[in-house]
Structure 1
């Protein structure tokens, strides 16, 4: 499917399902399709992110992934209060990128287009880019500081891994690149190669623990992840913010997308989402099917050990300190990218 075709399906979904909801203020595109040409090919392992803006300061749980008009859409909500101030959005690395170009789908109040008109000319100004890099760095620091070593192991792993992965976002933001979620490591490698710092990429992988993992090992564990994923989907009932990532509709991303990375030689880059998916499955299973959670737990623990080198809380705490020590050097590289990036004004 072409990106433009998928976007058109998203526009129809907004007209049919979002406009009539009380408090609706508009919708816009976000994520990996922002800035891509309409005639670009959209991989089966990619979706189109649509953000619905609402007056409700406490929006309902996001619908998540759904099929509409043949396209895989990822629907989420954002309160208008988070977008009201342009400088707040400019400083937010996960919000600002959507308004670098015109991504507005629908804007009955005019607020989104006014935000775009205000933000877009300033998006690449050095002051705001640096603030967004700092926003990403603070997310690493804040989430690692909040790590709870008393939580179950399947909750500890993502609590360490996701902020560790945000180290890539510091670099992507400095390069004015989309801070993607699932493909953050391949994107960071491209940035570091383009700016003459490829050696730092190995350090990022070492923090994750997968710098020397073999394709054979990763392929084995993606098979185990697939079995856990397929066992989780039919029993999942309790809503989590990531629930739409654990559905049959999301299988092309969680399972097929990981296999695609391995097949093209990016097995180390596949580790992040394999482990994240496994951890999320066990978060669901621990609540909705404890017996299945227990039965599949050895496969999860083996995957975490083989792919990241983590075998328990002590390892995570040690790795957390390694990430914290790494941050000053990471920031220096981000500053170098800021200085060298010709698109920053």
Structure 2
């Protein structure tokens, strides 16, 4: 299934939304593109499952303010608000692996004061500097350690799964940041595999999959889990009322990202790379069902349990053991990241010479 929308047309829709809506927010400073579309060619087709990430910068406090995903002129946008003092001065962005990735190229949509583009140029000028690359990698490593060392053992099961899953998945971000690549969310394992291959280090990829537990899953098995998730997703999207930060990911408009794109990836042979987002989406669906339709939740629990069992998670003890193993292997993963940094730096210097 194709979107039939060019990247340029998708960006044009984002420009239109910024012009018509973002300016109205008090303290508006400007807006820029972030996420996976930053590296896409304008005349290429927007891939199935891709939204267009727009960061709106404001001088006002924006705690908890996120519009999330919504359709505008037929394009799925994801809008996030950022306070100016979160990204400026440039050192703050350069040290933050998510923020630096969004400002490494000129993706400014609107900049009425000129401050945003000036900041972007400063970030771009220092983005490949080895000191900052290492700082960002250390930022990633700290997120892994903090997330896995302090689990909330009293939380509901779906939250405990999420609490283990995301810091575990940040191991893929460590490779991406070392390779100067965009630390994408949904496709992090696919992109990490590509980054390792590009630097001649593909042999280290299975270690990342082992942390997740996806290394033995077959395409048929993954497709079966997508079938089950589609039913859970539709149920959760239909009853969702309680606002969560991820609520816009569980809507009819966002279904192509969670379900359709997962089928497409699995059927082309990237089935193990789909597993991270399947588990994340399933856990989020169960959080919604627990809050808004607890009477419907039980019907979808066997499918969730089956998905988790296939990656070796059946109990809290499994979560603890898996977290401990990732922490034990983190020095080895860090060594791989250092190899990626060295190879990427050498390649960058060769291109400049």
* TM-score over 0.5 for the pair: yes
Q: In the alignment, is the contact (CA less than 8 A) between 2:49 and 2:260 conserved in 1?
A: yes
| SS of match in other structure, 1:210 | coil
Could you say which residue in structure 1 is the equivalent of 2:91? 87
How far residue 60 of structure 1 moved from its aligned partner, in angstroms, is: 4.5
Counterpart position of 2:348: 343
Aligned-CA RMSD value: 1.2
Conservation of the 8 A alpha-carbon contact between 2:62 and 2:81: no
What residue is the counterpart of 1:330 in the other structure? 333
What is the alpha-carbon distance in structure 1 between the residues aligned to residue 180 and residue 112 of structure 2? 29
Is 1:45 aligned to 2:45, yes or no?
A: no
Aligned to 1:36: 40
CA contact (8 A) 1:57 1:80 kept: no
2:66 to 51, 62, 69: 62
2:25 is paired with a residue whose SS is: coil
Q: Which residue of 2 aligns with 1:318?
A: 321
- CA-CA distance at 1:217 after TM superposition: 1.4
Give me the TM-score of the superposition, normalised by structure 2.
0.95
Partner residue in 1 for 2:243: 239
Q: 2:182 aligns with which of 175, 178, 191?
A: 178
Residue in structure 2 matched with residue 131 of structure 1 by the alignment:
135
Is residue 143 from structure 1 mapped to residue 152 from structure 2 by the alignment? no
Provide the residue aligned with 1:207 in structure 2. 211
**Where does the alignment leave 5 or more consecutive residues of structure 1 unmatched?**
none
Counterpart contact for 2:133–2:177, Cα < 8 Å: yes
Contact 2:201-2:340 at 8 Å conserved across structures: no
| 1:76-96 deviation per Cα after TM superposition (whole angstroms, max 9, x unaligned) | 111111012101110110000
Contact 2:215 2:272 in 1 (8 A): yes
> Given the two structures, how large is their TM-score scaled by the length of structure 1?
0.97
Other-structure match for 1:197: 201
How far apart, in 2, do the equivalents of 1:260 and 1:323 lie? 29
* Aligned counterparts, 1:223-262, within 5 A: 223-262=227-266
- When structure 1 is superposed on structure 2, of 58-67 and 269-278 the one drifting more is 58-67
The Cα shift of 1:221 comes to 1.0
Q: Answer yes or no: is 1:309 the counterpart of 2:312.
A: yes
Superposition pairs of residues 106-121 of structure 1, within 5 angstroms: 106-121=110-125
Alpha-carbon separation, structure 2, partners of 1:73 and 1:16: 14
Stretches of structure 2 that go unaligned for 5 or more consecutive residues are none
Paired residues of 1:57 and 1:81 also in contact (CA < 8 A): no
In structure 2, C-alpha distance between the alignment counterparts of 1:117 and 1:43, rounded to whole Å: 28
Secondary structure of the residue that 1:52 maps to in structure 2? Answer: strand
Please give the per-residue CA displacement for 1:50-84, whole angstroms capped at 9, x wherever unaligned.
01112222344311111112211111111111012
The Cα shift of 1:35 comes to 3.0
**Deviation, structure 1 residue 33:** 1.0
CA distance in 1, matches of 2:343, 2:225: 40
1:147 match: secondary structure: coil
The count of aligned residue pairs is 344
Q: SS at 2:24's partner residue?
A: coil
